[in-house]
Amino acid sequence: MDNHFDVIVIGSGMSGLTCASLLAQLEQKKVLILERHFTPGGFTHSFKRKKRYEWDVGVHYVGEMNPGSHYRALFDAVTAGALDWRAMPECFDRFVYPDLSFDARCGIHRFRQDLIDRFPSEREALEQYFRDLITSARWYGRLMISRLLPDWLRPLSGALTGPHRSLAMMTTQAYLDRHFRDEKLKAVLASQWGNAGIPPGLSAFAVHAVIACHYLDGGYYPVGGARRIADSIIPLVEAAGGRLLTRHRAERIILEADRAVGVEAVTRVRGQTITKKFFADRIISCAGARVTYSRLIPKTFPLPFRDELEGLPPGSFHVCAYLGFKDTPASLGFKGENLWIYDGYRHDELYARRGNVLKGEVSGCFLSFPSLKDPLAHGHTAEIIAFVDQEPFQQWAQQPWGKRGDEYDELKQRIAEGLIAFVDRRYSGFAELVDYCELSTPLSTANFTGHKDGCIYGLPGVPEKLAVSWLSPRTPIRNLYLTGADVTGQGIVGALMGGILTTLAASRRPWPLLKLLMSSMRLAKHPEKRDVLKEAQLRALT
């Protein structure tokens, strides 16, 4: 097999697939994608059980996929328009508390007015809140763009100084405490904190703002499930002579002095471990900053920020119960919306009790219904997600996936039963619908993604992360580039933009991609010109 390529991408997550697709389409590069899992897609992949039950593992909903948005235009470019999106119900998120339930409806004006109607005494603060959301989200965007600039140009972006920086860099809870009096309103506004992976007392307000703004126009779901993302991109890579290799775990990036020249990967062939070396002019790592800099790069390589990287918080860990139903969950009144269910109003206190999940005691969860969102689904499914600590699972970390013993299986069963009971107490009859249940833990995440200890979001969105200057697509090693959520932000669109920024940094011909970005921005401003602008996109790609 030819082991020389133009570009090697480590990992087939959304960012890696974006880089591979754009480099293949815009520059006709021969790209090799190395994926450790037996299924491509990273957190965009899906899996099936009993032939009829299918679940996504990370794409629970995506914002800004309406036909007129520039993110939709970029997604269409990356997937060559092969992906269809279905809008979720008008109420796409429901926040459920002990004595309060609030429906998040799509549209900023509806959402804002619903909040004012429920909390009229906080009207002025709410109006300021929405202005601050937009201001901070725009600041965050400037910060991401500044990471492409040389050090001497970064101050011109306006992200490193100025009054907006202090607003964006305060914690979400600090902002809420400063502007609101009603504890229930504070809780409602922070209800989607699970999308950031850390509670409001830890997250930067800019991170909260980006996520909140992302869903102001509702949620969307890929028709055919999350697996359609990789299915639509891989043929584009192969058409340019590239390849996807699953079951190939990157072990190290091959360096010559301060230059990356290849990747060493291991795979299993007929029960034996085989080491392979692949070489390329450019290497793009979608494995995350921690894995890239701490495991794939030799520890002897002088990284000036190594101590700062290791000093950042570890991130988030989760369990997920994948459920198959005997009948449609619509029989209980569900319409395809997501539910954020909490036992109280202080999110940081609930997060502090996450260890109780191992005893079957749940204080909060996220409930999603893939089958109600996907018109092509054959079976009825749901997912229940809760945060946990990773330490209790480490005693089984060295045992193989699927063969970790009875004690581990009993722990998983206890957790799953606790999650199902937590939902059933609020929606009677939920437990009776369950026909099949499978639980993933941080060990599952570590096994299939290679993330340290099974972390799901990479480096957490704390203010300290936004302050560092070295989280950039460009690395201190020539020809090595970093992509993924660590470069930009959490979520599928954050990963998409991470891939686009990294492609810009790694491209030898950035102008076609810049034309693509500009046409997508014009599309967002002038949706009535969609057909004309789509032709401009196609010209950019060809």
Cα distance between residue 220 and residue 183, in whole Å: 30
pLDDT digits (tens, 9 = 90+) for 1-29: 589 999 999 999 999 999 999 999 999 99
Could you tell me if 340 and 101 are in contact, meaning their C-beta atoms sit under 8 angstroms apart?
no
Dihedral sign of CA atoms 517, 518, 519, 520 in order = positive
Length of the chain: 542
In the prediction, which pLDDT does 476 show?
Answer: 95
Cα distance between residue 136 and residue 210, in whole Å: 8
Cα distance between residue 203 and residue 207, in whole Å: 7
In which band, very low, low, confident or very high, does the pLDDT at 535 lie, cut at 50, 70 and 90? low
339: its two tokens: 């539910």
Strand partners, 49: 53
Instruction: Give residue 103's region: left, alpha or beta (phi > 0; psi -120 to 50).
Output: beta
Cα distance between residue 502 and residue 283, in whole Å: 11
The full set of domains in the chain, from first to last, is 4-85+223-312+458-541 (3.50.50.60), 108-217 (no CATH), 316-452 (no CATH)
Computed over every residue of the chain, the mean pLDDT equals: 92
Specify the residue for token string 């601050």.
132
Decide if pLDDT at 540 tops 90. no
Strand partners, 7: 31, 282
Q: Which of 311, 366, 16 shows the shortest CA–CA distance to 197? A: 366
In the prediction, which pLDDT does 164 show?
Answer: 87
- The b-or-e profile of 456-489 (16+ CB within 10 A means b, else e) is bbbbbbbbebbeeebbbbbbebebbbbbbbbbbb
Cα distance between residue 331 and residue 188, in whole Å: 27
Tell me the DSSP string of 298-315.
-TTS--TTHHHHHHS---
Residue 452 DSSP code: G
- Reduced to 3 states, what is the DSSP secondary structure of residue 280? strand
Q: Is 74 exposed, middle or buried (0-12, 13-18, 19+ CB in 10 A)?
A: buried
Decide if pLDDT at 521 tops 90. no
In which band, very low, low, confident or very high, does the pLDDT at 396 lie, cut at 50, 70 and 90? very high
Helix 511-525 to helix 70-79 angle, to the nearest 10 degrees? 140
Helix 14-27 to helix 511-525 angle, to the nearest 10 degrees? 110
Decide if pLDDT at 528 tops 90. no
Could you tell me if 171 and 200 are in contact, meaning their C-beta atoms sit under 8 angstroms apart?
yes
Instruction: Give Rg (Cα) of the chain.
Output: 23
In the prediction, which pLDDT does 185 show?
Answer: 98
- Reduced to 3 states, what is the DSSP secondary structure of residue 442? helix
Decide if pLDDT at 516 tops 80. no
Instruction: Give residue 60's region: left, alpha or beta (phi > 0; psi -120 to 50).
Output: alpha
Decide if pLDDT at 300 tops 80. yes
Q: Measured between alpha carbons, how far is residue 397 from residues 393, 457, 529 in Å? A: 7, 19, 54
Within 10 angstroms of residue 327's Cβ, the number of other Cβ atoms is: 11
Rounded mean pLDDT, 102-109: 96
pLDDT digits (tens, 9 = 90+) for 23-77: 999 999 999 999 999 999 999 999 999 999 999 999 999 999 998 788 998 999 9
In which band, very low, low, confident or very high, does the pLDDT at 251 lie, cut at 50, 70 and 90? very high
In the prediction, which pLDDT does 187 show?
Answer: 98
pLDDT digits (tens, 9 = 90+) for 305-352: 999 999 999 889 999 999 999 999 999 999 999 999 999 999 999 999
pLDDT digits (tens, 9 = 90+) for 194-244: 999 999 999 999 999 999 999 999 999 999 999 999 999 999 999 999 999
Q: Measured between alpha carbons, how far is residue 458 from residues 120, 289, 292, 461, 491 in Å? A: 38, 8, 11, 9, 11
Decide if pLDDT at 539 tops 70. no
- The b-or-e profile of 284-319 (16+ CB within 10 A means b, else e) is bbbbbbbbbbebbbeeeeebeeeeebeebeebbbbb
Q: In the Cβ-directed half-sphere of 89, how many Cα atoms lie within 13 Å?
A: 18
425: its two tokens: 């107490």
DSSP E strands, 353-433: 364-368, 380-388
